[in-house]
Structure 1
Amino acid sequence: MSSHDNNDDLVDKQVQVQTSVGKKRTETQRSSSDLPSNPRKKLAQSSDIRQYFVPKDDDKESTNGTRNDIGRCELFKAYQETSEQKVSTSGDQDDFQRSVSELIVLSGLPFSFVESEGFRRFCQTVLPMYDDVSQLTVARDIATMYLQEKAFLKVLFSVEIKRVSLTTDIWEAPTTSCSYMVVTAFWIDANWELQKRIISFKPVTDKKGETIARHLIECLDEWGIEKVFTVTVNNAEGNDKALTLFQDAMRLKGANALVKDGDFLRMRCCGDIVNLLVKESMEHVSDSIVAIRNAVKYVQSSSSRLKSFEFRIEMGKVSKCSLSLDCVTEWNSTYLMLVAALKLRVAFEKMLGEDKLYGKYFLEIEEETGKKRVGPPISSTWDEVKRLVGFLRIFFNYTVGSSKSKSAASSNGYSEIATIDSNLIKLSNSVDEEVQKQATSMRGKFEKYWDGLININPLVIVASVFDPRKKMKFASLCFDMLHGKDSLEANHLTSSIRSVMRHLYEEYTMMLNKQSQSDAAATQSNHGGSEQSSDSDGYIRSDYLYKEMIKEMRKEEASKQLDDYLIEKVEPWGLGSDYDVLSWWKRNSSKYPILSELARDVLAIQMSSFAPESAFCTSGRILDPYRSSLTPYITEALICTQQWLQTSLQSEEQLPSLKQMFEELDFQESLDPRKQPEPLVTEV
């Protein structure tokens, strides 16, 4: 009970005494003296425990003061227990508010989530002393988390990371007509695990090359990153000029800021090229796709229509399959819808000839377009879609394969590109003239980006060589398949890739030797000076010749690492499992100390500039309306902190599988001495 409650009780008591005498008066008959002045005002500077030590009226009249003192002590004890409970609940409330902020970050929920009625009722159930968490509180907590994680990453970048590969892309915010430029850094850490961090998500006024280059330089300066290997960008017009300006700016940072003076700096986004080809091929048969989409809508619009369709499936004697609508902006869902619809083509054709409601459905006027609904799909419609599915299958398998790789995706990059090219070559020789025409046109556009060493970055092929299952033999087989066995083009590509690898290896040998020499010089200076190879009068000491011999032996040994790696047998190909290239290099890094450093940087290269979850998106990267309405600083804090926290959660030690737990249980039981077999006893 607080002092405020005592005042209220006092007011009620006085009013009751005054109104109990005589007749009850009306509101107009009451005078100002009947009611106490300012009845709701609290006692100034009064503590909650004051009520336990101020004597009450009944205490003054009582003759047993000791009993009253004991009673007040018991009340004070109860007050202390209540206070401790309030403090504990307050701490729980603070933890709960921080948990709400982390939930907002990790799940991407809008800020308005914390002020929804359902969330309020949930909080009041879980935490009775809950006070409303405002959007301002959430924003403050998110900004605090962002700054803490950013400070930790800056320390990590300055200590552990030697060289990074970057990706950059533009996100659109339709709600505010604003664009955001995202920059992501990739590297392989000391434990040979591929790391990814979004290091910038800032608004840009335009998409010109100068703007993109300036944001890249400012981002690297902010994080203290001095060495860059590659930058993966899409095929936007401004990226060519942006990387030229970026290359000039990086040269000013030092000789080791870029590898081979930035000759291999630009990496084309393969995913963007695939999406462009898919989008263009789907636009040619867009009416046929819409017709089949409307047919699927009709079947799924009611249970009676679905039963009628299933009856046609049984009559047509075709196998059932899941039929679902697609998402217009995700071409993989459109591909799966068309594949399922083609399997049920007979049932749809029976619906067209037998179901009158099915035909009337396509005569209706759509509210969105004000035109008659497209369809129904006829024989030519199905033929067009069948040709399209043959092309989409190639790109679908590539995108799925490149998205599911948890290790170094760049090691499979060239094999996937070669697979696309070989399938397009096969379709260009098809007996169907329409398929042949489309495949020839598509292959011409594909080779515009990935043909030879003029348009393709050689590091794409070098990354496949660093896969111990493939090495140089696999690349040579791809050259023979695409250009003909022992052809001039194939032989030229093979010799060119070997030359690129040797030049890269020599440059890394020089860089690492300089680094080891500088480390040795620093160690000697810390121990009181450097060793002299000759006396002051020019006399050469014998240990000088020994040191020169050691240097020559190291050079000879280093030059053999690349040759030894390429000559050795390839690792067996494990089908049905995701081969971990990085684990192999982790085990063999001591065997190839210099080559492994080159492999570490090459295998961190990214073939696409966007995340795997956006690989099938044809509408570009779009910021949702909730985040578009936030300030740029909070938007960047949300995007970056979400990715950083998710990465930290994934890097935690995973729980053992059920099989591993049973194996561990069997092993523990085998150690139980009570279950050990009894020794044989022989009679003497």
Structure 2
Amino acid sequence: MDNRDLASGSCSEMRKKLKLDDHEEEEVDYSRPSPADPEKEAFNALARSFIRSGVNPNTIKTPSFTNLIRLLNPSFRPTVSILEKEVLEIHQECKEKAKSFLNSFQGKLTLSYEWIVLGHGWTRDSLKGPVLQEDFVCITAHFVDDDWKVRRWILGYASEVDVVAMDDLYVHGFRKACQGFEIEGKVSTLLLPNEEGFDEETLGGFRRGLEERGHSSISQPVFLVYCCADLFRLMVDDVFRELSGKLLEDLRMIVGWGKCSSENWHLWVSNLQRAVDMKNEDEFSKDEIYDDYDKPSDEEWVKIETFSRLVGCMYKVAVELFEGGYSTSNVYFYLLAELKVMLEKELEGADSDYFRCNAKWMLKRFDKYWDHMFLVLATASVLDPRFKMKYLEFYCSKKIDNDEGSKAETVLGYLHSLYARYAASDICQKPICPVAKVDSKEEGENDDGGGEEEDNDELQDGEEDYDDEQEGENEEDSDEELGEGEEDCEYDEEEEYDEEEDGEEKYDSDSSEEAEREARKNREKKPDACKDFAFFQEFLKFEGSSPRECGESELDAYLKEPVMEWNKDFKALDWWREEGHKYPVLSRVARDILSIPISRATSYHAYGMDRREPPAFVVSLEAEVANAMMCSKKWLRL
């Protein structure tokens, strides 16, 4: 019996009476579908399942799958061509829904660019099918919907690098996505790789075009944001490339950390620090077992210790940024400021020319990033009620940068200007209501676990991202709910992405399980690493000064109130969602600023030393089918 019949006993009797009175209508409603309909439905269901699970349509040709289909339905004879055609039809249907959603969405979008390349190592050797595509350009839209949940949608997964003119190489993917979805006026930020070519000179024309398209009163300059995980990767590489393969192999033998080809730099930190600790404890001299092994020279030990000290500083900050899941933009300012202070202290305490040279080079790379990103990061920090203007004022008071006095004024001036544009818009006068949000109907009915997907993608948000970048191999991973720490989310940490939806990360699990356990054990001993951040602890003492006198705008009222007590697990988007009725205009500003992803990759994907690789199933697909399958995964929920 239907559950609704239990609630209303008369419903069943009424339906029986209607069926008796209108038998012909009953026959029309319940007649069997035409023979073509069930087959179409079967192909549609199969295509959706393959899209959601990331399964190559050629799988239906394997003996095991063929036997399964024969057992289930001997009359159903699936073919690859029909299945791929169904995938393309689903993609087109879902794309129209995604386009409609984005056009009606009242917030701002960030578009990210990532070049994903198939490597030449074990991943290529493990492929079973032919390799038709070796590299892809992944364009992803990042935003926070009206239900205050982080979304990461792949808008393009194209294998067109070889057919695009060089002078249009870095812009083509962005332009195609903007025109295809008609979102030119909604893009506020471009998240870019830290590579040559992605600069103002190359992207300036496209950027100005986006700014001109934004005709609304809340239009703002388009930010060019560079991936923080990329920055860390490049900084690590500056030091790591000084360590020869033979040296690393010798260390592996005497320390015994397993396989030597780790693709994740945080594992090298643990392994090399272990070697340094053994040297400091004179273990190599005490135990004669080491006499038969080649040990590093004094010069090589300097290189090893330099790596351990400098990259060790980075790792302390990276743990806070990446390993709790997807971090909102408001936490990057204080954590990167801490890293800057750490590196400068290491430079001051340099005990060799080699160390001093590497520390200077690393700081030079960091400072270039810091100067470019300062306005975005500081603005997001001000919209964190634990900081407001206090941390920025504290940072500037320490005269860490040469133009420290003007920076706080610049950030505050920008925020006032941005707020004024939002305040002039009628639509921003009302609190954000959960209207433009992703329909979870299909998630509940079709995903393994139902509920929100935990991205990565990072997000990681793909493989979303950074994806997903966003995803897990479990299809429970749906779009992430933004927090700063754990998101149980797509860009998250069950592990956040075992396999991102726009590219797979390479792991060497057997080489570093012991190092990973040790690192995790150490982190569990110190759940709040901020207690060890000397510069941040100094800020907590500083921020007790009285609030300034302000006017009556929402922004001024927000800044006038005292900062919140420090809470490491605080989630900024949750706070702004609750305070939306108090700050209807400012909450919209906060949503659009806090939705800007500062890192494309999250979780352990952020430690990768090379480009991410595409999922194995897409490299043997035609470009159009690969694009359809990668994009449609999130759109199926619309």
Partner of 1:336: 270
1:159-194 per-residue CA deviation (whole Å, 9 max, x = no partner) reads 234321221122235656764322111222212222
Which letter does structure 1 place at the counterpart of 2:622? T
Partner of 2:566: 573
- C-alpha change, 1:284 and 1:450, in structure 2 (3 Å) is same
The structure having more radius of gyration, on CA atoms, is 1
Partner of 1:250: 210
* CA distance in structure 2 between the partners assigned to 1:350 and 1:131 by the alignment: 71
- C-alpha change, 1:138 and 1:611, in structure 2 (3 Å) is farther
* CA distance in structure 1 between the partners assigned to 2:181 and 2:217 by the alignment: 15
Which letter does structure 2 place at the counterpart of 1:491? G
1:142-153 pair list within 5 angstroms: 142-153=87-98
Whether the 8 Å contact between 1:113 and 1:119 is mirrored in structure 2 is yes
Whether the 8 Å contact between 2:99 and 2:181 is mirrored in structure 1 is yes
1:328-367 pair list within 5 angstroms: 328-342=262-276, 349=284, 353-354=288-289, 359=293
* CA distance in structure 1 between the partners assigned to 2:165 and 2:238 by the alignment: 23
Pick 1 or 2: higher relative contact order, CA cutoff 8 A, min separation 6.
2
Selected match of 1:498 from 402, 407, 412: 412
* CA distance in structure 1 between the partners assigned to 2:425 and 2:143 by the alignment: 18
Whether the 8 Å contact between 1:505 and 1:562 is mirrored in structure 2 is yes
Gapped runs of 5+ residues in structure 2? 1-32, 120-130, 431-549
Partner of 1:507: 421
Structure 1 residue 189 corresponds to structure 2 residue 145: yes
Whether the 8 Å contact between 1:288 and 1:382 is mirrored in structure 2 is no
Selected match of 2:186 from 223, 227, 230: 227
SS at structure 2 position matched to 1:187: strand
1:623-681 per-residue CA deviation (whole Å, 9 max, x = no partner) reads 35652332111111122123445xx59xxxxxxxxxxxxxxxxxxxxxxxxxxxxxxxx
* CA distance in structure 2 between the partners assigned to 1:123 and 1:286 by the alignment: 53
- C-alpha change, 1:276 and 1:643, in structure 2 (3 Å) is farther
Which letter does structure 2 place at the counterpart of 1:608? S
* CA distance in structure 1 between the partners assigned to 2:217 and 2:248 by the alignment: 51
Which letter does structure 2 place at the counterpart of 1:159? S
* CA distance in structure 1 between the partners assigned to 2:167 and 2:583 by the alignment: 40
1:388, distance to aligned residue in structure 2 (A): 0.9
Whether the 8 Å contact between 1:165 and 1:186 is mirrored in structure 2 is yes
1:469, distance to aligned residue in structure 2 (A): 1.0
Selected match of 1:237 from 169, 191, 196: 196
- C-alpha change, 1:138 and 1:337, in structure 2 (3 Å) is farther
* CA distance in structure 2 between the partners assigned to 1:109 and 1:481 by the alignment: 54
Compute the RMSD of aligned alpha carbons.
Answer: 3.8
Whether the 8 Å contact between 2:249 and 2:260 is mirrored in structure 1 is no
- Between stretches 347-356 and 245-254, larger displacement belongs to 347-356
Structure 1 residue 412 corresponds to structure 2 residue 322: no
TM-score normalised to the size of structure 2? 0.65
Whether the 8 Å contact between 1:208 and 1:242 is mirrored in structure 2 is no
Partner of 2:556: 563
* CA distance in structure 1 between the partners assigned to 2:322 and 2:77 by the alignment: 41
Percent identity for Structure 1 against Structure 2: 19
Structure 1 residue 638 corresponds to structure 2 residue 638: no
Whether the 8 Å contact between 1:476 and 1:490 is mirrored in structure 2 is no
Which letter does structure 2 place at the counterpart of 1:439? A
Q: How many residues align?
A: 471
* CA distance in structure 1 between the partners assigned to 2:283 and 2:43 by the alignment: 54
1:577-633 per-residue CA deviation (whole Å, 9 max, x = no partner) reads 3x2111111111111111111111111112124565642222223335652332111
Whether the 8 Å contact between 2:84 and 2:625 is mirrored in structure 1 is yes
Which letter does structure 1 place at the counterpart of 2:381? S
1:87-135 per-residue CA deviation (whole Å, 9 max, x = no partner) reads 9xx999988766654454344344444433444556667x374856443
Gapped runs of 5+ residues in structure 1? 1-86, 300-322, 360-374, 517-556, 650-684
SS at structure 2 position matched to 1:615: helix
Partner of 2:225: 267
1:478-523 per-residue CA deviation (whole Å, 9 max, x = no partner) reads 2334628xxx73322222211111111122222347999xxxxxxx
1:379-438 per-residue CA deviation (whole Å, 9 max, x = no partner) reads 654553233122222323333433345565211121122121111011001152243332
* CA distance in structure 2 between the partners assigned to 1:399 and 1:134 by the alignment: 47
- C-alpha change, 1:257 and 1:123, in structure 2 (3 Å) is farther
Which letter does structure 1 place at the counterpart of 2:383? F
* CA distance in structure 2 between the partners assigned to 1:148 and 1:423 by the alignment: 52
* CA distance in structure 1 between the partners assigned to 2:242 and 2:217 by the alignment: 46
Whether the 8 Å contact between 2:321 and 2:327 is mirrored in structure 1 is no
- C-alpha change, 1:515 and 1:211, in structure 2 (3 Å) is farther
Structure 1 residue 599 corresponds to structure 2 residue 590: yes
SS at structure 2 position matched to 1:199: strand
* CA distance in structure 1 between the partners assigned to 2:213 and 2:275 by the alignment: 57
Partner of 1:443: 363
* CA distance in structure 1 between the partners assigned to 2:212 and 2:299 by the alignment: 61
- C-alpha change, 1:508 and 1:441, in structure 2 (3 Å) is same
* CA distance in structure 1 between the partners assigned to 2:413 and 2:68 by the alignment: 65
Whether the 8 Å contact between 1:165 and 1:185 is mirrored in structure 2 is yes
Which letter does structure 1 place at the counterpart of 2:356? Q
Partner of 1:200: 156
SS at structure 2 position matched to 1:239: coil
- C-alpha change, 1:252 and 1:448, in structure 2 (3 Å) is closer
1:462, distance to aligned residue in structure 2 (A): 0.2
TM-score normalised to the size of structure 1? 0.61
Selected match of 1:590 from 569, 572, 581: 581
1:212, distance to aligned residue in structure 2 (A): 3.1
Whether the 8 Å contact between 1:402 and 1:409 is mirrored in structure 2 is no
1:147, distance to aligned residue in structure 2 (A): 2.7
- C-alpha change, 1:493 and 1:289, in structure 2 (3 Å) is farther
Structure 1 residue 619 corresponds to structure 2 residue 620: no
1:459, distance to aligned residue in structure 2 (A): 1.8
1:280, distance to aligned residue in structure 2 (A): 1.5
- C-alpha change, 1:594 and 1:563, in structure 2 (3 Å) is same
Whether the 8 Å contact between 1:466 and 1:599 is mirrored in structure 2 is yes
* CA distance in structure 1 between the partners assigned to 2:49 and 2:428 by the alignment: 48
Whether the 8 Å contact between 2:115 and 2:138 is mirrored in structure 1 is yes
* CA distance in structure 1 between the partners assigned to 2:269 and 2:66 by the alignment: 42
SS at structure 2 position matched to 1:200: strand
Which letter does structure 1 place at the counterpart of 2:111? L
1:425-464 pair list within 5 angstroms: 425-433=344-352, 434-451=354-371, 455-464=372-381
* CA distance in structure 1 between the partners assigned to 2:274 and 2:423 by the alignment: 55
Structure 1 residue 105 corresponds to structure 2 residue 51: yes
Which letter does structure 1 place at the counterpart of 2:560? I
Whether the 8 Å contact between 1:338 and 1:389 is mirrored in structure 2 is yes
- C-alpha change, 1:326 and 1:585, in structure 2 (3 Å) is farther
